[in-house]
Amino acid sequence: MALKSGETVIRFENVKKIYTNKSGLAYVALNGVSFEIKRGEFVAVMGPSGSGKTTILDLMGTLDTPTSGTITIVGKKASEMNGSELADLRNEEIGFVFQSYNLVSYLSAIQNVMLPTMVSRKRDSEVMKNAVKLMTEVGLGEKLEKKPNELSGGEQQRVAVVRALVNNPKVLLADEPTGNLDTKSAIAVLQILTRINRDFGTTIVLSTHDPEVGIFAKRRIFIRDGLLTNENMMAKLSDTKKL
Ligand SMILES: Nc1ncnc2c1ncn2[C@@H]1O[C@H](COP(=O)(O)OP(=O)(O)O)[C@@H](O)[C@H]1O
Ligand SMILES: [Mg+2]
């Protein structure tokens, strides 16, 4: 679907997510969350561990469904899409990057990158050219044939970023993408995300608990105890802790 600049790509309206554990106990992870993300934005979803960041990103990526409320992704209500429409959306419009790189250990870096294209309907040679170009851009042009265990954590995460981009998604969702990385590798990954956002106009949403990671985004959404909050309130809370 073609999108105009400034158009909303993700909309949450009063979204609640209640998890029920095996003993039937309900846990309110999101307690009525509303926000919009426009095409071309680079947003950080920020909050402490357990605040609901992964829940938000999973819902954005239609990997999970809300208990109530409405989620609209690329102009379509997630609740009104059937299984194959959701699969197409996830394969073609959304790229995912996770904290644990989730690479397939017995495939080379370039084979890992090509994996998502096996379900899309794009021409092989074109996709391969694009994949090699992206790998070169992230500094891995010489490491196409390496297996994940021959790469550093930062290199593996860059492979995962390229894998998420290979179908030219409109939205890139990155859940704590630098959570397992040393500072230098984290900065390299964040610089790549910044460039992708700037050069391709890809909408990026990343989650992090780390304010130093959050500053790479152009806008920050703060979540605490399943509710959106604002930065000042977070600062006040951290001041209180210091006393
Ligand atoms: N499948 C689940 N079943 C029960 N509780 C869950 C489940 N997933 C997450 N939670 C709980 O929901 C809250 C928010 O989780 P999550 O979105 O993973 O937070 P974050 O990513 O910010 O650390 C946490 O308290 C977590 O324990
Ligand atoms: Mg999380």
pLDDT digit string, tens, across residues 85-142? 999 899 889 999 999 989 999 999 999 999 988 766 666 788 899 999 999 999 999 9
Domain ranges across the chain: 39-62+88-242
User: Residue 208: what residue type?
Assistant: T
Dist. CA 122–CA 83, nearest whole Å:
21
Residue 64 φ then ψ, to 5°: -145, 165
Residue 3 banded pLDDT, cuts 50, 70, 90: low
* Ligand 1 lined by 99 (C-beta under 6 Å): no
Q: C-alpha angle 73/113/173, rounded to 5°?
A: 25
**Mean per-residue pLDDT of the chain:** 91
Does the predicted TM-score (pTM) go above 0.85? Answer: yes
User: Does domain 39-62+88-242 fall into CATH 3.40.50.300?
Assistant: yes
Cβ of 208 closer than 6 Å to ligand 1, yes or no, is no
47 lines ligand 1 (CB under 6 A): yes
- The 8-class DSSP code of residue 181 comes to S
Q: How far is the CA of 54 from the centre of ligand 2 (A)?
A: 4
Residue 143 to residue 141: CA distance in whole angstroms: 6
